[in-house]
Structure 1
């Protein structure tokens, strides 16, 4: 059985439309990918955080001509631009024009790389070389394997018997050829594909390799998927071998474009346009039984590009790159027909939980009910059906049952909380993800029909499992906004990794404007924030009346509120007595409001998506939030720390990033607002003195580098010595 689990947006694309991406490649671990756009840019992304870890671009006028790959053995990125120019860099490198560069003697088609294997370079004329053999002599002669009339239209790298292998398809109109390169082969293998007269043209390929053979799948415009077995054993017979094709799968209709990728030995994903030509369909098929397991409809046309790494599909749609996680279970006839006991489709309509009557029973014989089961409430037992498989698997011998989702519409809040907890204990990933989404949606629907019904405890229990996401229950956070349920929203922001920026900004506006009466009633954990927030009863807003210490005082880390006109670069450190005597900075917001704002600051976001929504904040909300961020910044400087205590892991970098976002989104408003000027002036002085600090640090760094370059005779100072370096 196969199913899609969750969907999120990884990034925006600068170019939308046909072939918006050149490629998406795995980058070292399960959570990183290297995205090459159809132009000049290569970006490394962390998928779970939906944010870039680094981005590199070639110069104006240059063009990346093949997807960048990650060399896991050296932890370097490799790309080719302008067909022949090879560049290699590490994640720490900032500018692409400053990294290693060499020009090859022949045009490159693709670079292929797999974890633990040396990257292979496939040239346009069919030659294959290890990357390591090209670097010592980049101008070495590259032989022409293919004729001028023959072009490579698809290629893929595999590992077979511990050896890298490259399979590529070439087209010499009207024929197609399969070419296989392996290091131990004296001559690359070459086969001709059988011509199918009734098929109009080929759209896409995918393949997997088993011992001594490869399974090649071909998608035709008629909607048919055909399969061919490619031998991977050398033969002394040099005559042309024609590979036969067998019909594997028939899509619902003919298509003019499409893509496909194998998920495992039994499951295939296809991305094709629907009959209306206005929507695209992403389908997962069981190729062993020719059945469709899952289908997702995209309202907006895609570019019909599809990549698959680590149980995750990557689909460019419009101006965004979408990420869809999936699971595949071992193929069987029962799962193919949807009759398996633990099938995901049955989970969509029922919630399996531990039986009320058999929780404390030791062992129960089949067909016999316990007395406690007989005394259970009728509305919880009327629709129950035994699942023998779960009963056999349970350690205590108790049976597990299925309770219809309709029970959630009639049970009391206390019964629902118990039902959710028991369902949690009996379900496993990914079954629980689908079921949890249905349970959350059912509870939200009932809450909207009955305004007095509020099962907050049950909803938070679902969220705290970390198996629920925004995509699985998109109505949950809007419901929290409607009810002003700040505790529920805080849990969602802390646990969900796919919260849209628009929803996050709506939560921010609520946290800034919610009345004190609602905050007082909210149950929030404030222990971590109490260690650095000391709220006074009559604390004035920093935005209205920023307290500037005397011009002569100086604070650590280069932070000094003295006059911006003072050009003195002497950074001093006050003694401990002065630190203790200094009054602790008052927080401009209440403790509970501060905890909620910390949740926003530590949440994952995309800067380009968040900026437009921050412009919707009112001027008072911007000033209040900016004042609180300034308070956190001052606390970090006073305590000489880069992060504050607590589970939120609030860092000074996150605080500065949010300051920049607010100023970028609302700079014009803040400039013309009279009451914002003291705050802006105060921030300007902070930046001024931080720049002075970094200037002094740069001078020290330069002096140390010069000392390191000095050629001094090596002196034997014994096992222990102290040396003093005089910089000035």
Structure 2
């Protein structure tokens, strides 16, 4: 589900004249610090704003008579701001600079269209003639000759910069009388490609663009005047430079009515936002749409006219409305079948795109003659005249996978994945994975791990399409692929989840050191002890069977708990960072409590104790955070940690009680529970006191000249 949250005004805007509603702002750009944006108005001023505080941090303006012609951006590498005024004059400044008079100035030899900047990259300068240059190269030689690549009369109407696998990609779209053209520029090697964009209908107009990049495939979203949101895919795989391919558009969503002006922006894999006027309601409407289900998730109506401008950063939408700039927070949560059938834990993974609707006839190999016969009977599905040819193409690829050498497998898979030219690519990916797994099972020496990872990262597979993959990886203890499967697949059985948990808990630490895992997300809260990464057993003094710390007494208060938490050994994680990353993938996996409990009983006592200690460590780290969430992409919360802690205790409580080394751990967990109970008891007292105070504000029902009431808080 997706929805709008709070709304507030960031700042006021200068009133625009008649017909100038499109020119209220030139750009809203992110800077290094979170919750901070850089605004460029339509005339002379650049302002840095703290969004949550709704206050400016700095403002800079060009002289009277000069005009900013390019939105200002932040150079993440140098910590400087960059802007262009009067088409060719480039300015570079820092936070402590007061005015543009004394900052760096460079006059270029050609007119600039836009400057694009991303973290960890050098900014790119896009000229109006279509040339693309790095900013540093221009600053070193501002008067260098800039080539013109666009035909006369062709202008740039939209551009966007991406970063994928260390490769800079710039997409810009140009318009001319006869149509629109898509241009792609890649940094390494420097490569430009031009495509002709076929219009959706003969008389329709394109109103706005948005795009996303994944696996060298650009998904270009287009808002058409017919009210359709269309999709066109552009492959970054090098094509024949002598041709100008034609890109077609397919409708993925239809708005309630045609539109004359509007804005479109991609929010995530499944959601987009559109801003368009509604003739029926006589209002402008900002809507969030689910492109997978083709449904409207939320709608915000505006009484005053808005501009056809829309920006999105850090789960916030920015749009000019009247004489102010509005900020709307939004949330986008994936909708899952697991939320209705079992235990659905929010992990931020795409749901419907992970398991899209498939062509089951192609999966079971139904014949072309059968489909033609059904078409004669009046089937609503269109016949594909090239279906037999497409099936032959897939069969050739599967045959090559079974026969070619292991060194050639990655090139075959990369070519199929990068272009995604095969029909029903999800089914093709599933069959390729099945062919690779079958060959791995028949030949123990054959194991193309990089190709398996490449297919999983397409997010087109599920456990149901390749059920033997995780079994194979469990046998080979390939924890990297097991982690990817738990992250990408939403239909992994509970028995397999528990098998992965066993492997993650028991895999040798020396093997983990050689595994390539992304530990940046968990390293910020996983602190290791020295020299060992395993917690020592806490020492409990027992004299003649008597423990001085009685768990039955009320002495286990917050002070006693703090003493336990502050012990040096409890400040460290019982597992290494890489093992923690693997265990976190289990914690965020989907499961049904009823089905997973029997399989948790198969864990060994050492595995249960180690996992409980790690959960206890995570609970302490969650409790230190006010939001009760841990940082990182997993978004681990205290609720998830407590759910798994309860599952382990329910499944193995008898074993844990009889296990001497687990007694101190159980005692500590019990103290945590008692402190929480005491805390909520105090909250109940406060609730009762507040309700009594609320009753005092109600009209008194007593009669007579006066009355005496006694309010006892404790």
**TM-score, with structure 1 as normaliser:** 0.48
**TM-score, with structure 2 as normaliser:** 0.49
